[in-house]
């Protein structure tokens, strides 16, 4: 076999390897979905970020509109500062709210972005005004148990308490507590 044909075959071999790498990177890994054009950065402060990780998706109505780029602790307020980048083509009102949610029962955590009603839109560098922390199962169970022990009288206290978990989430717990104590009678 001539020298030239060997060189051609080796060239083909290397080209095949590059094609394989491109396939792995674009089709079978996240290079094709990451970045992808123009973005702007927002910040949100959370009392508790739970298990949120860098590169976690940001979703609105279930559609992925951006990703978490950095997570830091604010050393003055002791809140988690989450930086997210949103695709430029999606604009959100100034009073949009960010929540940390969980996909499925035990799935990965992501940020849900609920659009508000303001006329002005968020611009790069803005801090989201309303946030809702991750639901910590231990806190939830603790509230449920204390609600159950003290009976219906604790119902208002549980809701009014400045718990890290937000108002909408603990609501089912006192209801369950009342139905449980009702069954006891």
| Contacts to another protein by CB under 8 A | 3, 6-7, 9-10, 12-14, 16-17, 20-21, 23-25, 27-34, 55, 57
Compare residues 10 and 73 and give the one whose CB is closer to another protein. Answer: 10
CB-nearer residue toward another protein: 33 or 91: 33
**Which residue, among 154, 106, 117, 110, has the nearest Cα to 132 in the 3D structure?**
110
State the nearest-atom distance from the C-beta of 92 to another protein, in Å: 22
Nearest distance, CB of residue 147 and another protein, angstroms: 33
What distance in Å separates the CA atoms of residue 59 and residue 110, rounded to the nearest whole number? 7
- Give the residue ranges of DSSP H helices in 29-171: 137-150, 154-160
Please identify which residue in the block is written with the tokens 């100034």: 94
**In the complex, least distance from residue 109 CB atom to another protein, rounded to whole angstroms:** 14
Report, in Å, the least distance between residue 86 CB and another protein: 17
H or E element, residue 176:
helix 172-184
Token pair of 15 as six digits: 């080209």
CB of 1 to another protein, least distance (A): 9
| CB closer to another protein out of 30 and 91 | 30
The nearer residue to another protein, 27 or 76, going by C-beta atoms, is: 27
User: How far is 85 from 35, CA to CA, in rounded Å?
Assistant: 9
Is 68 in contact with 101 (CB distance < 8 Å)?
Answer: no
Residues 6+ apart with CB under 8 A from 96: 113, 114, 115, 116, 122, 128, 130
- Taking the least distance from each CB to another protein, the nearer of 33 and 130 is 33
């Amino acid at each position: 076999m001539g020298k030239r044909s060997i060189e051609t075959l080796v060239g083909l071999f290397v080209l095949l390897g590059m094609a394989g790498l491109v396939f792995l990177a674009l089709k079978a890994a996240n290079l094709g979905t990451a970045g992808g054009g123009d973005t702007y950065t927002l910040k949100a402060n959370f009392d508790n970020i739970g298990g949120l990780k860098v590169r976690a998706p940001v979703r609105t109505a279930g559609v992925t509109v951006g990703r978490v780029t950095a997570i830091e602790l604010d050393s003055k307020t002791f809140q988690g500062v989450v930086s997210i980048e949103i695709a430029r083509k999606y604009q959100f009102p100034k009073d949009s709210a960010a929540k940390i949610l969980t996909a499925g029962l035990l799935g990965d955590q992501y940020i849900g972005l609920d659009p508000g009603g303001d006329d002005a839109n968020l611009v790069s560098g803005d801090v989201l005004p309303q946030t809702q922390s991750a639901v910590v199962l231990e806190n939830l169970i603790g509230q449920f148990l204390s609600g159950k022990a003290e009976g219906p009288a604790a119902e208002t206290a549980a809701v009014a308490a400045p718990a890290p978990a937000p108002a909408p989430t603990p609501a089912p717990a006192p209801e369950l507590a009342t139905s449980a104590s009702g069954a006891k009678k």
